Amino acid sequence: MKRRMMAACALLLPLPLLAEPVWVGRFLPDAGGAMPAPWQVERLDDKVPPTRYRLREWDGVRAVEAHAVNSMALLARPLQVDFARTPMLCWRWRIDAPLEAADMTQKSGDDYAARVYLSFDVPTDTLSFATRMGLGMARALRGNHVPDAAVNYIWDNRHPVGTWQPNAYTDRARMLVLRTGGTEAGRWVDERRDVAADFQRAFGHAPARLTGMALASDTDNTGEEARAGFADFRFIERDAACPST
């Protein structure tokens, strides 16, 4: 009898509340074609033609399309997320084809058919004097949008899935290959990443604060053409499944 009463009482205990998905990128086409706030195109070099972005419905998915022809620009937004509650990032993406000449280990090949870029602030005391000086010089040249650290999820053309590589220009940006080659080109592919864990692996300490997200197709170094799609970005709990759209 006592066991039955305890079991009944247990059923009455409130279940822990699940954190709602934090949607950060729902791209719904509208009549005007404008990007939803706070997303905006960010050019890193005015001398380089910008990658073009447009909203569209693509094989039944409401998405943003990136079209790069010897070009580079980010589609970016500011962002803050509580990694203690929702550390997992879900999204879907696609490419028409991988780049041919790109090589992420070389400055001349630092191009990507598709990438998702996350920027972070980190405590100053985790940065060496040389790193602080380097960041100061980079911000003097390129503006204050240069982050303390960045993790890039990329669709590569030659390196195996799971490859980590410092960016060819700065080791403050780390590249992680999630897809490679053209086997999955031409269709939507779903992703699910533990952003906090990825940052920890890349830099050796927990991220302090996520500050922004950007999407890009990038071909200004190789001069190639690329087309990619991005959709349905949301952060969820570590043990939760990516919610359907």
pLDDT 10s digits, 66-90: 999 999 999 999 999 999 999 999 9
How many Å apart are CA 84 and CA 74, to the nearest integer? 28
Cα 47 → chain centroid: 25
Question: Is 180 within a domain?
Answer: yes
Q: Residue 199 has what pLDDT?
A: 94
Question: Is 244 within a domain?
Answer: no
More confident position, 241 or 113? 113
Q: What percent of the chain has pLDDT over 90?
A: 69
Per residue in 23-64, pLDDT (tens digit) is 999 998 765 678 999 999 999 889 999 999 999 999 999 999
Nearest one of 30, 70, 65 to 48, comparing CA atoms: 70
pLDDT bucket at 10, cuts 50 / 70 / 90:
very low
Question: Is 223 within a domain?
Answer: yes
Tokens 């490679």 — which residue?
A: 180
Output the domain CATH number for residue 166: 2.60.120
Question: Is 90 within a domain?
Answer: yes
What element of type H or E holds 151? strand 149-156
Alpha-carbon dihedral 210, 232, 104, 218, rounded to 10 degrees: -100
Question: Is 45 within a domain?
Answer: yes
pLDDT bucket at 149, cuts 50 / 70 / 90:
confident
User: Which amino acid is residue 96, in one-letter code?
Assistant: D
Question: Is 79 within a domain?
Answer: yes
Q: Residue 197 has what pLDDT?
A: 95
Number of domains making up the chain: 1
Question: Is 215 within a domain?
Answer: yes
> Residue 151 is part of which domain span?
30-236
Is pTM beyond 0.75? Reply is yes
pLDDT bucket at 215, cuts 50 / 70 / 90:
very high
Backbone phi, psi, residue 231, to 5°: -160, 155
More confident position, 136 or 91? 91
Cis amide bond preceding 49, omega within 30: no
What element of type H or E holds 142? helix 129-142
- 232, pLDDT greater than 60: yes
User: Which amino acid is residue 73, in one-letter code?
Assistant: A
Q: Residue 11 has what pLDDT?
A: 44
Backbone phi, psi, residue 196, to 5°: -60, -45
- 7, pLDDT greater than 90: no
Question: Is 8 within a domain?
Answer: no
